[in-house]
Structure 1
């Protein structure tokens, strides 16, 4: 009976998450509360056994670091500098904005990158008389591909990295960055084919606005500018070498965030920073971990693990491909975060049934979930954010029109990823 209750609560919560009629954090927390009310587990067990506080603290710390650094204008400076340098050449602008978006998504995270960059981009493409749709599609796709390359680039990667102890920050770069570069370049070639006619027809006669742009005006030349940029860079470097330092990623991020908060306190930023934190995202993760914990507590995850092993016959290659393609195809239509949270527990439970979750399976899950988010406008948080900003600025991204391009890109990405998994690991 408990299993039926847990499945029903999870399914109903998932349905409301898909409908997006109610705040997703509220949906997840209500589902978690129902599990406790129906005595699936106690609130103490829910908070101590099932919530991955390391992931929550890591997300919070990165939000603090990015929020404070953003206030110095450094990210806007980089975007304006790029646009000023190549704004008169639509093809070059298209490519280098994609590169900037991908790199930003890998080092910051894809949602933060598009939040910072898209408003500036919309303003500039209007001034240059450029078509908005190709550039916005390119930003969405580049952000999801770039976010795949590192552990902090996309929430699914953060969850996987925190769940599997031996997958370090550098592991993600070593195993995922090479294929991400290949997929990015192949995708850019495909997008150039898709939008070649639109870019050819662009008229850029009035470029005075670009020539008059002063990127330095975006910078706030205060001690905080140098402090925040230095701490952010040192944090990323520490992430790369945390294995040698024998310090957890969460500890590094938290210490960096607290240090930057202390340095910015004299400017009265602490209350402002806390008001800018994406609390909805943090509480959504807390509720989600408890929802998945309900499936684990009632044995549903064990059952799924057995089914998965019987389908793939315990073979690592079959399992990796099953994970890659299921995650890739489902992530475009379902929220990839609940899917990844469930699959992490399935893979962790496989050992109980005589099958070890190999590294290629984890990389397949990361690649499928992150790349698959490009399929539709609902496939990833970054997609929804870009569509929302565009709509606020009077630019509409049609769902079906985007899906034609997005789904084609995902199929290409998954085919390349399949070849990569086979060549590198099997």
Structure 2
């Protein structure tokens, strides 16, 4: 009976999220409360086991850093300079946004990258009177594909790296970066084909754009230099966190608190907290509680264990099925809690005689990262972009995103299947 209740609540909430009739944060929080009222889990288990407070704290810290930095005019300056470099041409601007986001997501984590780039892109599109949707779309796609390339690029990779000791930063770079680069190129072509005709240079005079003084938008106060310094230190901390044995969340929170203290005289903390995307944070909390309900009653674990039954323990079939199940399922629920549920299941495959699990780990990582592009709630970066866009009154429709994201995911999974098959699975055929 509990399985039916938890599944029903999840499906109902998902339908409301898709139809966008009610605020998405309110929908997921309502679902979490219903799971509590029906006794699916206790409040203690919900708060201590199912809500990923590290992710929530990381998002909050980065929002604080971005909110303070934005007040210095740095993002406006970068937006104007970027637009001037491409002379306001919509397609080069689109491709440039994708390339910068992809590189940033591989070197940082994709959530941090979109928090930095989305405000810039929103300013550029507003300046050039261009539709924001194509640019937000390519930022989401690029963040998830670029994030797949490295250990620190996407939360599922971080979780897998923490669970499997020998899968180091260099391991991810060697095994995941090549396919990420291939898929990134395919994605750029995909987006170019979709928008090459609809994006046209606006009536804004290019001479007027080139004549704009980007320097005028910078507020050269101590806060500007403090913001740049702390933001750079935080990014360096992200890059070195594995060597320093400091968690990403700790790095981000340290940076946020330090910048709040340094800039307190110029901008009150209350003003910064008012700029935080609270709807996005509470949506994440609610989403974790919903998926936690499915975990509590065993739905996710049973789906995962059924993989072995379906494939009769065949190594090649198991790896490919993991890829596709992870890819398709990560589009339905956020890939972070899904990967958290899948990690112990993959570890159990050893009891079925599968000693060498690395190709299956790569299949899980690829499926989770790529599948995040399917829907607006498929990955943390997607939800953050949607929240920032909504705050700028450039809301992204769930259905509209699905129409672009789902086909890309199918293409990506087909290419990833070929990659896994040729690079890892051929020796196990027959």
TM range (shorter): 0.7 to 0.9
Q: Indicate yes or no: 2:144 matched with 1:122.
A: no
CA distance in 1, matches of 2:280, 2:302: 29
Q: What CA distance in whole angstroms lies between the structure 2 residues aligned with 1:376 and 1:413?
A: 14
> How does the TM-score come out when normalised to structure 1?
0.79
**Which position in structure 2 is the counterpart of 1:414?**
413
Deviation at 1:360, TM superposition (A): 4.4
Deviation at 1:151, TM superposition (A): 6.5
- Answer whether contact 1:77 1:219 (CA < 8 A) is retained: yes
Q: What residue is the counterpart of 1:324 in the other structure?
A: 323
Q: Is the 2:163–2:343 Cα contact (8 Å) retained in structure 1?
A: no
Deviations 1:251-285, CA, capped at 9 Å, x for gaps: 22221211111112122331122122222222223
Is residue 2:340 matched to residue 1:344? yes
Decide whether the 8 Å contact of 1:152 with 1:158 is kept in 2. Answer: yes
Aligned mates of 1:397, 1:19 — CA distance in 2: 9
- Kept after mapping to 1: 8 A contact 2:89/2:201: no
Distance, in Å, in 1 between the alignment partners of 2:410 and 2:258 is 44
Q: Which residue of 2 aligns with 1:3?
A: 3
1:381 to 377, 380, 383: 383
| Distance change in 2, residues 1:26/1:399 (3 Å) | closer
Distance (whole Å) between structure 2 residues aligned to residue 90 and residue 48 of structure 1: 46
| Residues 95 and 10 of structure 1, relative CA distance in 2, 3 Å threshold | closer
Query: 1:250, CA displacement in angstroms?
Result: 1.8
1:272 matched residue in structure 2:
271
The reply to whether residue 23 of structure 1 matches residue 23 of structure 2 is yes
Q: In the alignment, which residue of structure 2 is the partner of 1:84?
A: 84
Q: Deviations over 1:323-364 (max 9, x none)?
A: 4334444666x4x41x65245314424545736894544544
In the TM superposition, residue 322 of structure 1 has moved relative to its aligned partner by: 2.4
- Residue 297 of structure 2 corresponds to 298
Distance in 2, matches of 1:296 and 1:320, equals 22
Contact 1:105 1:112 in 2 (8 A): no
Counterpart of 2:237 in structure 1 is: 238
Q: Residue 6 of structure 2 contacts residue 40 of structure 2 at CA under 8 Å; is this kept in 1?
A: yes
- Rounded to whole Å, the distance in 2 between the matches of 1:284 and 1:292 is 12
Describe the superposition over 1:287-337 as per-residue Cα deviations: whole angstroms up to 9, x where unpaired: 3333333333333344223212212334554344324334444666x4x41
Q: Distance in 2 between matches of 1:140 and 1:79?
A: 18
Query: What is the CA–CA distance in structure 1 between the aligned matches of 2:264 and 2:201, rounded to whole Å?
Result: 47
Q: Is the 8 A contact 2:118 2:136 kept in 1?
A: no
TM-superposed deviation, 1:238: 1.8
Aligned partners of 1:302, 1:139: CA distance in 2, in Å? 32
CA distance in 2, matches of 1:239, 1:170: 16
Cα offset, 1:122, TM superposition: 2.3
Contact between 1:113 and 1:143, CA under 8 Å: does it hold in 2? no
Within 1, Cα distance between the matches of 2:268 and 2:166? 37
- In 1, the alpha carbon distance for the partners of 2:11 and 2:166 equals 32
Shift of 1:376: 6.3
Distance change >3 Å, CA 343–CA 97, structure 1 → 2: closer
Partner of 1:211: 210
Aligned pairs, number: 416
Taking the aligned partners of 1:249 and 1:205, their CA distance within structure 2 comes to 42
Q: Contact (CA 8 Å) 2:376, 2:402: kept in 1 or not? A: yes
Aligned partner of residue 181 in structure 2, secondary structure: helix
Contact kept, 8 Å, 2:101 with 2:142, in 1: the verdict is yes
- Between the aligned partners of 1:347 and 1:165, the Cα distance in structure 2 is 13
Contact 1:86 1:92 (8 Å CA) reproduced:
yes
Structure 1 residues 330, 142: CA separation in 2 closer, same or farther (over 3 Å shift)? same
CA drift at 1:97: 3.2
1:185–1:84 CA distance, 2 compared to 1 (3 A): same
Worse-matched range after superposition: 165-174 or 93-102: 165-174
Q: Name the CA distance, whole Å, in 1 between partners of 2:424 and 2:399.
A: 37
What root-mean-square deviation, in Å, do the aligned CA atoms of Structure 1 and Structure 2 show? 3.9
Contact in 2 for aligned 1:170/1:241 (Cα 8 Å): no
- Give, in whole Å, the separation in 2 of the partners of 1:139 and 1:279: 21
CA distance in 1, matches of 2:131, 2:57: 40
Contact 2:125 2:131 (8 Å CA) reproduced = no
Structure 1 partner of 2:308? 309
Unmatched tracts of structure 1, length 5 or more = none
- Cα offset for 1:150? 5.6
1:114, 1:143 within 8 Å by CA — same for their partners in 2? no
Q: 2:63 aligned with 1:63, yes or no?
A: yes
- Confirm or deny: 8 A CA contact 2:118 2:385 kept in the other structure: no
Give how far 1:104 is off.
Answer: 4.9
SS at match of 1:82: helix
Distance, in Å, in 2 between the alignment partners of 1:405 and 1:134 is 10
